[in-house]
Amino acid sequence: MSDKNQLQELIAKRAAQELTGSCVVNLGIGIPTLVAKFIEDPTVYFHTENGLLGVADVEEDQIDPNLVNAGKMPVGETVGASFFNSAESFAMIRGGHVDVAILGVLQVDQTGQIANWAVPGKNIMGVGGAMDLLVGAKKVIVTTTHTSKDGKSKLLKKCTFPITSTRSVDMIITELAVFEITDNQLRLIELMPDVTIEEVREKTEADFIE
């Protein structure tokens, strides 16, 4: 496994610990998708906004091209799964019926606002369900690498890319640390294994409470 994959799995595994007991969870594309493989509790129900409650893994020989998740990746269905149209799916999201959304970001700032749909100077081509999940999910967890490819902090004082919502997320999980957001402030609640507070300070632009 490459270093990048290991980092992603580390983050996903930590996020999985947040999903305990009966809950409905929507997973975004990328690291969030990996979270499902660390969940064994059958009362954690995965929702995908293209119209399925009860997303499961699928074996290669069972792949159905008309059964996919929101990232258009093949998935399976659990016993007790249901299919529904897009408006009903987003009524679940916007109506506050989804307990947790786990999302990737381009940037997150020290108030907990995120940017994950557009980059300035490039054509704005897609938003998908990102804005809906931010306003509707009861709890929003961000899973992201702590820094971008060029080594810059993704946890900023203020997002420079267009924000996805004025709502602050509830938790940020990176390969270095876990932060909670309360009263629009980041609070460091946990260091990941073998990480020092000095390293987190050095690689984080955002102000946070230790």
Active-site choice (49, 60, 205, 210):
49
Does the annotation mark 49 as catalytic? yes
Number of amino acids touching other proteins (CB under 8 A): 41
CA distance 204 to 105: 15
Output the smallest distance, CB 116 to other proteins, in A. Answer: 11
What b-and-e string marks burial along 20-47, b requiring 16 or more CB atoms within 10 Å of the CB? eeebbbbbbbbbbbbbbeebeeeebbbb
149 to 178, contacts with other proteins by CB under 8 A? 162-166
What b-and-e string marks burial along 172-207, b requiring 16 or more CB atoms within 10 Å of the CB? bbbbbbbbbbeeebbebeeebeebeeeebeebbebe
Which is closer to other proteins, CB of 124 or CB of 197? Answer: 124
Euclidean distance between the first and the last CA atom of the chain, given in angstroms as a whole number: 33
Output the smallest distance, CB 134 to other proteins, in A. Answer: 8
Output the smallest distance, CB 67 to other proteins, in A. Answer: 4
Residue 9: both structure tokens together: 């799995």
Which is closer to other proteins, CB of 112 or CB of 136? Answer: 136
Of the CA atoms within 13 Å of residue 137, those in its CB half-sphere come to 29
Which is closer to other proteins, CB of 11 or CB of 101? Answer: 101
Output the smallest distance, CB 123 to other proteins, in A. Answer: 5
13 to 42, contacts with other proteins by CB under 8 A? none
Site string for other proteins, 51-80 (x = CB under 8 A): xx----------xxxxxx---x----x---
104 to 133, contacts with other proteins by CB under 8 A? 118, 123-132
106, 154 contact by CB (below 8 A)? yes
Output the smallest distance, CB 127 to other proteins, in A. Answer: 5
176, 208 contact by CB (below 8 A)? no
Cα separations (Å) of 209 from 59, 126, 188? 44, 34, 6
Q: Which residues bind other proteins (CB under 8 A)?
A: 48-52, 63-68, 72, 77, 83-87, 89-91, 93-94, 118, 123-132, 135-136, 162-166
**Catalytic machinery residues:** 49
